[in-house]
Each structure stands twice: as structure tokens, then as C-alpha cells.
Amino acid sequence: MHINFPVGGARRPSNRSRSASAALLAGALTLAAGGCRREEVTHARVKRAPEAQAPTMGPGMGGMPPGAQGPGAVAPPPAPGEGEGLRWNLPKGWTQDAKSGGMRYATLRPGARGKIDVSVVVLPGPAGGELANVNRWRGQIGLSPMDEASLASARKAVKAPAGSVSVYDFTSEGQAKSRMVAGLLTTGGNSWFVKMVGDAETVGAARGDFMRLLESLRFD
């Protein structure tokens, strides 16, 4: 096999060919570089910042630990017969049921027959004030509220070893009358309510014993 070469040696590429080749080479390099950059961006990873945690509630941040009591909390008084607390002389024929841990401090049961309930209730502080409590009692037997002037005229002060007891006596209107006799004693940061309510006739029969009980109120 014979190969014939042109006379004068191999032909050198023209300037135009060299320019085209250079342009193709530059374009290929540009595409390769762009591909590399796209590859780098595609696989870039950003480290996530740690999530913020909610602050733990504490006494200084509006929260209180379980079982904690606020600064205005008042510890419940002991039940009758258990440590220092309100005491009284129980009238003859009366009995009592101690119910501590709630608003009702004790339940007293007169010897008189008929519908009647005698309770000893304790609340912290002024418990809404004397006028508000008296009007609440009046509402319980169907009477309208009274103002400050009427309150003063209806109040009777009874002296007891525990202090001065404000006593109120109200009877409802209508054919089936109800009656309420209640004593209010505010002392030692607490308000004590000794209240007797029931049928007007039954309450009237027990009123003398109830008043003597109020006169015997004391703290031991």
C-alpha cells in the first residue's frame, strides 16, 4: 500500500481554522467550568441552627411549682378540737359535725325539730365585705338587698371572748316564712360566719341557744 504525500510537506492549518478551534476549546472549557459550579451549588449543605427552647416557667417568670401557694394564700384553720381555732359552748341537746378543709368549718345540729341548718364558715380576709355578705344572706331567703344605712340599723353587736360579733336577724315574706340569724366575726385575717337558717318557727325556738353560743365564741 502506498501513501502519497503532497509535495512540499503537510499543509498547515489556516488562521481561520486555528481561530475556530480556539473558540471551540474556550466554549468547552466554559461549559465544563459552569457544570462544576452547578455541581458545587447543588451539593452545598447549610448547617441548621439549633432550635430555640421555650424557657422553663419558674417563680420569677409567671409560673409556680406544683403545690406552691401564692403570697396571699391563707392556710385553712384547724378543725374544731384540733389545735388553735374558734371554739364555742355547745348548747344542751345540740350536736356538731366537724368538716374541715373547706369553707364550712363545722355543722351544728340544734335539738329543735323542723327544717334548720346551723353552720360555721370561715373565709380569708374580708370575704367581700359585710354589706355584700348580708345582702347575699337576704337573697337566700327571698329578701331584697339593703344599703349601708339600713345595714347599720339592722346590726346588733354581741360581745364574745373572740371579739365583737355583728348579728343580723331576717325573716322572709309570704305564707311559708323562712328565718335567718347570722353572726359575723372578723379577726386574725379571717372572716367567720355562724349562721342559722330554716323554718321561721324552728329558728325562733332555737334562737336563745344560738345567741348564747355566739356569746361564747373564743379562740383557744
**CATH code (residue 169):** 3.40.1000.10
User: What pLDDT score was predicted for residue 171?
Assistant: 96
Residue 17 lies in a domain: no
The answer to whether residue 23 is domain-embedded is no
Q: What is the mean pLDDT of residues 121-125?
A: 87
**156 falls in which pLDDT band (50, 70, 90)?**
very high
Residue 122 scores a pLDDT above 50: yes
Long-range CB contacts (within 8 A, 24+) of 73-78: 73/124, 74/124, 74/125, 74/189, 74/190, 76/100, 76/101, 76/102, 76/122, 77/105, 77/122, 77/190
pLDDT at 47: 42
Residue listed under C-alpha cell 353552720: 119
- Asked if residues 115 and 202 have their Cβ atoms less than 8 Å apart, the reply is yes
Distance, in Å, from the CA atom of 191 to the CA atom of 178, rounded to the nearest integer, reads 25
Give me the number of domains the chain comprises.
Answer: 1
100 vs 106: CA distance, rounded Å: 7
What does the pLDDT look like over 160-212, one tens digit per residue? Answer: 999 999 999 999 988 889 999 999 999 888 899 999 999 999 999 999 999 99
Cα 160 from Cα 213, distance rounded (Å): 9
| 31-50 per-position pLDDT tens digit | 444 544 444 433 334 344 44
pLDDT at 48: 42
pLDDT bucket at 217, cuts 50 / 70 / 90:
very high
CB-based contact 211:144 (threshold 8 Å): no
Place of cell 340544734: 110
Whether residue 19 lies inside any domain: the answer is no
Report the pLDDT averaged over residues 99-110: 80
Judge whether 55 and 61 are in contact, CB under 8 Å.
yes
130 assigned to some structural domain: yes
State the alpha helices, DSSP H only, in 99-166: 130-140, 148-154
* pLDDT mean over 61-69: 32
User: Which residue range is the domain that position 107 belongs to?
Assistant: 86-219
Pick the residue with more confidence: 104 or 76?
Answer: 104
Query: Is residue 145's pLDDT more than 60?
Result: yes
143 is a domain residue: yes
Which three three-digit cell numbers place residue 144? Answer: 331584697
pTM exceeds 0.75 for this model? no
191 found inside a domain: yes
* Any domain includes 172: yes
On whether residue 58 sits in a domain, the answer given is no
